[in-house]
Each structure stands twice: as C-alpha cells, then as structure tokens.
Amino acid sequence: MSFTLIDESSENFEFRSNVWNWKATLEIIKSFDVISEGKIRQMSSNATGVSVTNEEAKIVGEKIRQNILPKLEPNKRMFADLSITDKPDDGTIYKDEDEQWKNYSVNYNYLEEFSEFCLKSKGFQVF
C-alpha cells in the first residue's frame, strides 16, 4: 500500500510514501498534537482525500526539523513507537505480534524530504 500526498496549491507538488514509512510518520505527527485524532485516523488509510491545512503542514514541517531531525542524524531511524536505532533496516518482516512495531520506521532522509514537502506545500491531501 502506498500513499500520495498532493499539495493543494497550483504547484501540485507530490510526496509519495509506502505504508512502512507512513505509519511511523503518522505517529510522529500525532506526537506533535497539531492534527486531530480523527484526521490522523483518516490519514492512515490511503485514497481518503483527507486534507491537512496549510497551517498544520507548516507546523508539522517545522517540528520535524526542530525536534526530530536533530535526534536522528543521517545514520539513524525512528520507529512508530518513536524509539531510535542506528541499526539499518535489513528488510525483515516481523510477523510476531510483539515485534510488528519494528516493521515501521523512517530515516533522516525520508523525514527531511517530508518536512520540506510540508513547508513548501499550501496544505495537502492524502491519497
């Protein structure tokens, strides 16, 4: 499953994410307490068309740059539970319920690109 975020301005910037990255990204966004729980829930399903406002997108982009990227450095990644590791993703699919959280993470480069998209956009829709 993939997600495409489409800028609401006339520029039509796009940001694409797979489910493995998007789930971790949503947990990071949720931790900022900027976007409502209901909207976050809608954002977890692709093709909903749910909108993130310009103001929400800017706050998310800024908070990622200020609060998250400095913790990650280019060689670390963050899991959906917001813990950080320096172990690279080896592509293992964890099927045990107690380890499934390890399937979802984002790295520095991904979050840097996502924050740039948020800051450039005029708000976006999730498809």
- Among candidates 39, 4, 34, which has minimal Cα distance to 18? 4
Among the residue ranges 41-45, 54-58, 87-91, 110-114, the one predicted with the least confidence is: 87-91
Range of the domain at 22: 2-126
Q: Which amino acid is at 57?
A: A
Domain count, the chain: 1
Q: What is the mean pLDDT of residues 78-87?
A: 96
Residues 6 or more apart whose Cβ sits within 8 Å of residue 118: 57, 58, 60, 61, 64, 124
pTM exceeds 0.75: yes
Contact between residue 23 and residue 2 where contact means Cβ atoms under 8 Å apart: no
Q: What is the rounded average pLDDT for all residues in the chain?
A: 95
Rounded Cα gap, residues 18 and 4, in angstroms: 9
> What 8-state DSSP symbol labels residue 81?
T
